[in-house]
């Protein structure tokens, strides 16, 4: 734009300036709005019952730590990743998987199997993931449905997705790289042409 102003194309330069600034403001507003909505979704907090030695206590989900044993309520969003200890649950995992069909989660067997969180296929049938919705719980007798907190915050499956959205890895496109090469070649041709015509321009007395 500085070159266009200098060369007498003020109207064209003003148009480019207005269009560029408007586009930047629009993109910035949209980006900030999207990031704020993602942060609100990530910062989910709810009251939940935690089992202590003195009984059940109602605390905020933000105070949960791995190792806490909590009561799984009906029709509620999970604030962290938990392993089901007793009973069973019907869970809507569409937030993570996109599948609208509810899935059944069963409690761990106390003897027959070990919980291995690294084995996703084996662990997912016992795990209530953060951000998923428990539609219904089923307990055996009068016992409540308990779950063990194993991951909180950005360490959860939902947290990992949010982290990747907020802080994406840099992606390098072949088209962008080729565009830079093309611009570089054209710039080299332009500079070469300038120096080739420079003696002729000086001989003609052309101004700076």
Of the candidates 71, 52, 100, the one whose C-alpha atom is nearest the C-alpha of residue 61 is: 71
pLDDT grade, residue 24 (50/70/90)? very high
CB 123 within 8 A of CB 117: yes
Sign of CA dihedral 20, 23, 26, 31: negative
Question: What does the alpha-carbon distance between residue 177 and residue 175 come to, in Å, rounded to a whole number?
Answer: 5
CB 29 within 8 A of CB 51: no
Q: Are 3 and 101 contained in the same domain?
A: no
Q: Are 91 and 157 contained in the same domain?
A: yes
Q: Are 82 and 155 contained in the same domain?
A: yes
Count the domains in the chain: 2
Question: What does the alpha-carbon distance between residue 153 and residue 18 come to, in Å, rounded to a whole number?
Answer: 43
Of the candidates 40, 35, 60, 39, the one whose C-alpha atom is nearest the C-alpha of residue 50 is: 60
Average pLDDT of the chain to the nearest whole number: 85
Note the pLDDT of residue 161.
82
Task: Print the domain residue range for 3.
Answer: 1-43
Secondary structure of residue 137 in the 3-state scheme: strand
Which DSSP category does 31 fall into? H
Q: Are 34 and 115 contained in the same domain?
A: no
CA 193-2-176 angle, to 5 degrees, is 65
Which DSSP category does 145 fall into? P
Q: Are 86 and 152 contained in the same domain?
A: yes
Q: pTM score, two decimals?
A: 0.62
Question: Two tokens at 97?
Answer: 């998987």
Using the structure block, give the residue that is written with the tokens 């332009």: 190
| pLDDT tens figures, 131-184 | 888 998 888 776 788 999 998 888 888 888 888 877 777 777 888 889 999 999
pLDDT grade, residue 17 (50/70/90)? very high
Using the structure block, give the residue that is written with the tokens 């950005």: 154
pLDDT grade, residue 73 (50/70/90)? confident
Q: Are 21 and 33 contained in the same domain?
A: yes
Q: Are 57 and 71 contained in the same domain?
A: yes
Q: Are 19 and 76 contained in the same domain?
A: no
| pLDDT tens figures, 91-116 | 988 877 777 788 888 887 665 455 56
Q: Are 63 and 3 contained in the same domain?
A: no
Question: What does the alpha-carbon distance between residue 150 and residue 157 come to, in Å, rounded to a whole number?
Answer: 11
């Amino acid at each position: 734009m500085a070159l266009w102003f200098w060369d007498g194309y003020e109207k064209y330069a003003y148009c480019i300036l207005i269009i560029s600034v408007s586009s930047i403001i629009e993109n910035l507003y949209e980006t900030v709005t999207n990031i704020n909505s993602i942060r609100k979704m990530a910062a989910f907090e709810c009251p939940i019952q935690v089992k202590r030695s003195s009984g059940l206590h109602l605390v905020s989900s933000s105070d949960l730590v791995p190792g806490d044993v909590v009561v799984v309520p009906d029709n509620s969003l999970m604030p962290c990743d938990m392993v089901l200890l007793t009973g069973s649950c019907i869970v809507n995992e569409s937030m993570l998987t996109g599948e609208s069909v509810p899935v059944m989660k069963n409690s761990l067997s106390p003897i027959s199997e070990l919980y291995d969180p690294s084995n996703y296929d084996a662990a997912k049938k016992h795990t209530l993931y953060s951000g998923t919705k428990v539609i219904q719980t089923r307990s055996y007798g009068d016992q409540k449905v308990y779950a063990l907190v194993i991951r909180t915050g950005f360490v959860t499956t939902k947290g990992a997705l949010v982290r990747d959205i907020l802080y994406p890895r840099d992606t390098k496109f072949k088209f962008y790289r080729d565009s830079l090469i093309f611009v570089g070649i054209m710039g080299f041709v332009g500079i070469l042409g300038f120096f080739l015509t420079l003696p002729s321009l000086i001989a003609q007395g052309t101004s700076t």
